[in-house]
Structure 1
Amino acid sequence: MPTRARLDEFIAAVVSGDHDGAIERYYTEDASMQENAAPPRVGRDVLVAHERAALARAKSVTSICVASVVEGDRVAINWVFEFVYHSGKTGRFDEVALQEWRGDRIFRERFFYEPAKPKADS
Protein backbone atom coordinates (compact mmCIF):
# COMPACT_ATOMS: atom_id res chain seq x y z
CA MET A 1 0.00 0.00 0.00
CA PRO A 2 1.43 3.40 -0.90
CA THR A 3 2.13 5.99 1.73
CA ARG A 4 0.91 9.52 1.14
CA ALA A 5 4.56 10.55 0.78
CA ARG A 6 5.16 7.90 -1.93
CA LEU A 7 2.08 9.05 -3.85
CA ASP A 8 3.17 12.67 -3.53
CA GLU A 9 6.60 11.71 -4.97
CA PHE A 10 4.88 10.05 -7.94
CA ILE A 11 2.64 13.07 -8.52
CA ALA A 12 5.64 15.43 -8.31
CA ALA A 13 7.47 13.38 -10.96
CA VAL A 14 4.51 13.61 -13.35
CA VAL A 15 3.93 17.31 -12.68
CA SER A 16 7.63 17.97 -13.35
CA GLY A 17 7.17 16.47 -16.83
CA ASP A 18 9.03 13.22 -16.15
CA HIS A 19 6.13 11.05 -17.35
CA ASP A 20 8.16 8.15 -18.73
CA GLY A 21 10.59 8.24 -15.80
CA ALA A 22 7.64 8.08 -13.40
CA ILE A 23 6.47 4.89 -15.12
CA GLU A 24 9.96 3.40 -14.88
CA ARG A 25 10.26 4.21 -11.16
CA TYR A 26 6.73 3.79 -9.82
CA TYR A 27 5.17 0.90 -11.79
CA THR A 28 5.66 -2.84 -11.36
CA GLU A 29 7.32 -4.77 -14.17
CA ASP A 30 3.98 -6.43 -15.04
CA ALA A 31 1.88 -3.25 -14.67
CA SER A 32 -1.05 -2.48 -16.94
CA MET A 33 -2.71 0.74 -18.12
CA GLN A 34 -6.13 0.99 -19.71
CA GLU A 35 -7.62 4.05 -21.40
CA ASN A 36 -11.41 4.23 -21.08
CA ALA A 37 -12.78 1.00 -22.62
CA ALA A 38 -9.71 0.22 -24.78
CA PRO A 39 -7.81 -3.01 -24.13
CA PRO A 40 -5.11 -2.63 -21.49
CA ARG A 41 -1.43 -2.27 -22.35
CA VAL A 42 0.63 -4.65 -20.24
CA GLY A 43 4.26 -4.56 -19.14
CA ARG A 44 6.30 -1.62 -17.86
CA ASP A 45 8.52 -1.55 -20.97
CA VAL A 46 5.42 -1.35 -23.19
CA LEU A 47 3.98 1.43 -21.01
CA VAL A 48 7.21 3.44 -21.14
CA ALA A 49 7.47 3.07 -24.94
CA HIS A 50 3.84 4.16 -25.39
CA GLU A 51 4.36 7.19 -23.13
CA ARG A 52 7.50 8.23 -25.01
CA ALA A 53 5.66 7.98 -28.33
CA ALA A 54 2.80 10.13 -26.98
CA LEU A 55 5.23 12.72 -25.63
CA ALA A 56 7.09 12.83 -28.97
CA ARG A 57 3.86 13.95 -30.67
CA ALA A 58 3.75 17.07 -28.47
CA LYS A 59 5.92 20.15 -28.29
CA SER A 60 5.01 20.49 -24.61
CA VAL A 61 2.79 18.92 -21.96
CA THR A 62 1.63 20.61 -18.78
CA SER A 63 0.43 18.22 -16.08
CA ILE A 64 -1.68 19.35 -13.14
CA CYS A 65 -2.87 17.22 -10.23
CA VAL A 66 -6.28 18.56 -9.23
CA ALA A 67 -6.89 16.07 -6.42
CA SER A 68 -5.71 12.69 -5.15
CA VAL A 69 -6.98 10.15 -2.65
CA VAL A 70 -5.26 7.13 -1.09
CA GLU A 71 -7.50 4.40 0.29
CA GLY A 72 -5.44 1.32 1.17
CA ASP A 73 -4.02 -0.14 -2.06
CA ARG A 74 -6.28 2.02 -4.19
CA VAL A 75 -5.55 5.54 -5.39
CA ALA A 76 -7.63 8.01 -7.39
CA ILE A 77 -6.05 11.01 -9.10
CA ASN A 78 -7.77 13.77 -11.07
CA TRP A 79 -5.28 15.03 -13.66
CA VAL A 80 -5.51 17.81 -16.21
CA PHE A 81 -3.07 17.49 -19.11
CA GLU A 82 -2.61 20.33 -21.57
CA PHE A 83 -0.79 19.53 -24.80
CA VAL A 84 0.77 21.84 -27.35
CA TYR A 85 1.43 19.84 -30.48
CA HIS A 86 4.19 20.53 -33.00
CA SER A 87 1.54 21.90 -35.37
CA GLY A 88 0.60 24.56 -32.81
CA LYS A 89 -2.75 22.93 -32.07
CA THR A 90 -3.65 22.29 -28.45
CA GLY A 91 -5.48 19.61 -26.52
CA ARG A 92 -6.74 19.35 -22.97
CA PHE A 93 -7.61 16.17 -21.11
CA ASP A 94 -9.40 16.19 -17.75
CA GLU A 95 -8.84 12.65 -16.55
CA VAL A 96 -9.48 10.45 -13.56
CA ALA A 97 -6.90 7.73 -12.98
CA LEU A 98 -7.82 4.80 -10.77
CA GLN A 99 -4.78 2.89 -9.59
CA GLU A 100 -4.20 -0.35 -7.74
CA TRP A 101 -0.85 -0.44 -5.95
CA ARG A 102 1.19 -3.48 -4.99
CA GLY A 103 3.40 -2.36 -2.14
CA ASP A 104 4.95 0.96 -3.18
CA ARG A 105 4.39 0.52 -6.94
CA ILE A 106 1.45 0.83 -9.29
CA PHE A 107 0.23 -2.53 -10.57
CA ARG A 108 -2.91 -1.59 -12.48
CA GLU A 109 -4.21 1.76 -13.73
CA ARG A 110 -7.29 2.77 -15.65
CA PHE A 111 -7.93 6.22 -17.07
CA PHE A 112 -11.35 7.75 -17.62
CA TYR A 113 -11.68 10.86 -19.78
CA GLU A 114 -13.60 12.33 -22.66
CA PRO A 115 -11.14 12.63 -25.54
CA ALA A 116 -10.85 16.23 -26.66
CA LYS A 117 -10.14 17.18 -30.23
CA PRO A 118 -7.15 19.48 -30.72
CA LYS A 119 -8.15 23.06 -31.49
CA ALA A 120 -6.20 25.77 -33.28
CA ASP A 121 -4.53 28.36 -31.08
CA SER A 122 -6.31 31.71 -30.96
Structure 2
Amino acid sequence: MPSRDTIEAFIAAVESNDHVGAIRDFYTEDASMQENLTEPPRQGRQALMEHEAAVLQRVAAVRSRCIRPYLVEGDTVVIHWVFEFDLPDGKMRRIEELAHQTWRGEKIWRERFYYDPAQRAAH
Protein backbone atom coordinates (compact mmCIF):
# COMPACT_ATOMS: atom_id res chain seq x y z
CA MET A 1 0.00 0.00 0.00
CA PRO A 2 1.47 3.39 -0.96
CA SER A 3 2.01 6.05 1.67
CA ARG A 4 0.32 9.43 1.28
CA ASP A 5 3.80 10.98 1.04
CA THR A 6 4.63 8.76 -1.95
CA ILE A 7 1.35 9.57 -3.69
CA GLU A 8 1.94 13.29 -3.09
CA ALA A 9 5.49 13.00 -4.48
CA PHE A 10 4.14 11.20 -7.56
CA ILE A 11 1.51 13.90 -8.12
CA ALA A 12 4.15 16.63 -7.68
CA ALA A 13 6.36 14.96 -10.31
CA VAL A 14 3.50 14.79 -12.82
CA GLU A 15 2.37 18.36 -12.06
CA SER A 16 5.95 19.54 -12.68
CA ASN A 17 5.52 17.93 -16.13
CA ASP A 18 8.33 15.44 -15.52
CA HIS A 19 6.14 12.66 -16.92
CA VAL A 20 9.02 10.41 -17.98
CA GLY A 21 10.75 10.89 -14.63
CA ALA A 22 7.50 10.08 -12.81
CA ILE A 23 7.31 6.77 -14.68
CA ARG A 24 10.99 6.06 -13.97
CA ASP A 25 10.67 6.81 -10.26
CA PHE A 26 7.17 5.59 -9.38
CA TYR A 27 6.40 2.56 -11.59
CA THR A 28 7.51 -1.06 -11.20
CA GLU A 29 9.80 -2.50 -13.84
CA ASP A 30 6.92 -4.70 -15.10
CA ALA A 31 4.28 -1.95 -14.94
CA SER A 32 1.53 -1.57 -17.54
CA MET A 33 -0.73 1.26 -18.73
CA GLN A 34 -3.92 1.03 -20.75
CA GLU A 35 -5.95 3.72 -22.51
CA ASN A 36 -9.67 3.17 -21.81
CA LEU A 37 -10.22 -0.26 -23.37
CA THR A 38 -9.43 0.92 -26.88
CA GLU A 39 -5.82 -0.24 -27.03
CA PRO A 40 -3.92 -3.16 -25.53
CA PRO A 41 -1.88 -2.35 -22.41
CA ARG A 42 1.64 -1.03 -22.88
CA GLN A 43 3.98 -3.27 -20.89
CA GLY A 44 7.23 -2.56 -19.05
CA ARG A 45 8.57 0.62 -17.47
CA GLN A 46 11.08 1.24 -20.28
CA ALA A 47 8.35 1.01 -22.94
CA LEU A 48 6.13 3.31 -20.86
CA MET A 49 8.90 5.92 -20.64
CA GLU A 50 9.61 5.70 -24.37
CA HIS A 51 5.91 6.10 -25.23
CA GLU A 52 5.58 9.09 -22.90
CA ALA A 53 8.70 10.73 -24.34
CA ALA A 54 7.30 10.28 -27.87
CA VAL A 55 4.00 11.89 -26.86
CA LEU A 56 5.82 14.85 -25.32
CA GLN A 57 7.95 15.33 -28.44
CA ARG A 58 4.77 15.85 -30.48
CA VAL A 59 3.57 18.80 -28.38
CA ALA A 60 4.92 22.30 -27.78
CA ALA A 61 4.02 22.31 -24.07
CA VAL A 62 1.93 20.48 -21.49
CA ARG A 63 0.31 21.57 -18.24
CA SER A 64 -0.70 18.84 -15.78
CA ARG A 65 -2.97 19.23 -12.77
CA CYS A 66 -4.41 16.86 -10.20
CA ILE A 67 -8.01 17.64 -9.24
CA ARG A 68 -8.20 16.81 -5.56
CA PRO A 69 -9.07 14.82 -3.64
CA TYR A 70 -7.53 11.62 -4.94
CA LEU A 71 -8.95 8.35 -3.65
CA VAL A 72 -7.02 5.61 -1.85
CA GLU A 73 -8.27 2.21 -0.73
CA GLY A 74 -5.48 -0.22 0.12
CA ASP A 75 -3.38 -0.73 -3.02
CA THR A 76 -5.88 1.10 -5.25
CA VAL A 77 -5.47 4.81 -6.04
CA VAL A 78 -7.71 6.89 -8.32
CA ILE A 79 -6.48 10.30 -9.47
CA HIS A 80 -8.49 12.85 -11.45
CA TRP A 81 -6.13 14.58 -13.91
CA VAL A 82 -6.44 17.49 -16.32
CA PHE A 83 -3.79 17.77 -19.04
CA GLU A 84 -3.59 20.71 -21.42
CA PHE A 85 -1.40 20.20 -24.47
CA ASP A 86 -0.24 23.09 -26.66
CA LEU A 87 0.17 21.68 -30.15
CA PRO A 88 2.80 22.86 -32.65
CA ASP A 89 0.07 24.32 -34.90
CA GLY A 90 -1.11 26.63 -32.10
CA LYS A 91 -4.18 24.60 -31.16
CA MET A 92 -4.78 23.23 -27.67
CA ARG A 93 -5.98 19.81 -26.54
CA ARG A 94 -7.47 19.33 -23.06
CA ILE A 95 -7.77 15.81 -21.65
CA GLU A 96 -9.62 15.18 -18.41
CA GLU A 97 -9.27 11.62 -17.15
CA LEU A 98 -9.39 9.28 -14.21
CA ALA A 99 -6.29 7.17 -13.65
CA HIS A 100 -7.11 3.92 -11.85
CA GLN A 101 -3.89 2.55 -10.36
CA THR A 102 -2.91 -0.64 -8.58
CA TRP A 103 0.20 -0.18 -6.47
CA ARG A 104 2.72 -2.74 -5.24
CA GLY A 105 4.04 -1.17 -2.09
CA GLU A 106 5.39 2.24 -3.08
CA LYS A 107 5.28 1.71 -6.88
CA ILE A 108 2.53 1.68 -9.50
CA TRP A 109 2.09 -1.76 -11.07
CA ARG A 110 -1.05 -1.35 -13.21
CA GLU A 111 -2.74 1.79 -14.52
CA ARG A 112 -5.80 2.26 -16.68
CA PHE A 113 -7.05 5.61 -17.92
CA TYR A 114 -10.72 6.47 -18.30
CA TYR A 115 -11.64 9.45 -20.49
CA ASP A 116 -13.89 10.50 -23.33
CA PRO A 117 -11.97 9.77 -26.57
CA ALA A 118 -13.62 12.80 -28.18
CA GLN A 119 -11.26 14.93 -26.07
CA ARG A 120 -8.39 13.94 -28.36
CA ALA A 121 -9.66 16.47 -30.93
CA ALA A 122 -7.70 19.73 -30.86
CA HIS A 123 -9.48 23.04 -30.20
The aligned counterpart of 2:29 is 29
Q: What pairs up with 1:13-92 in 2 under 5 angstroms?
A: 13-37=13-37, 38-67=39-68, 68-92=70-94
Secondary structure at the counterpart of residue 55 of structure 1: helix
1:118 to 2:119 alignment: no
Q: Which runs of 5+ in 2 are unaligned?
A: none
**Alpha-carbon distance in 2 for matches of 1:13, 1:70:** 18
SS in 2 for 1:118: coil
Kindly report structure 1 stretches of 4+ aligned residues shifted beyond 2 Å: none
Identical-pair percentage: 55
Partner of 1:6: 6
TM-score (norm 2): 0.95
Structure 1 CA distance for aligned equivalents of residues 73 and 6 of structure 2: 13
Aligned mates of 2:112, 2:78 — CA distance in 1: 10
* Shift in Å, 1:103: 0.7
Deviates more, 1:110-119 or 1:44-53: 110-119
Q: TM-score, normalised by structure 1?
A: 0.96
Structure 1 residue ranges without an equivalent (≥5): none
Measure the CA separation in 2 of the matches of 1:87 and 1:43: 32
Q: Distance in 2 between matches of 1:10 and 1:71?
A: 17
Deviations 1:15-44 (A, max 9, x none): 001000000000000000000012100000
Q: Deviations over 1:63-119 (max 9, x none)?
A: 010021111100000000000011111100010000000010000000000121001
Q: Secondary structure at the match of 1:58?
A: coil
RMSD: 0.6
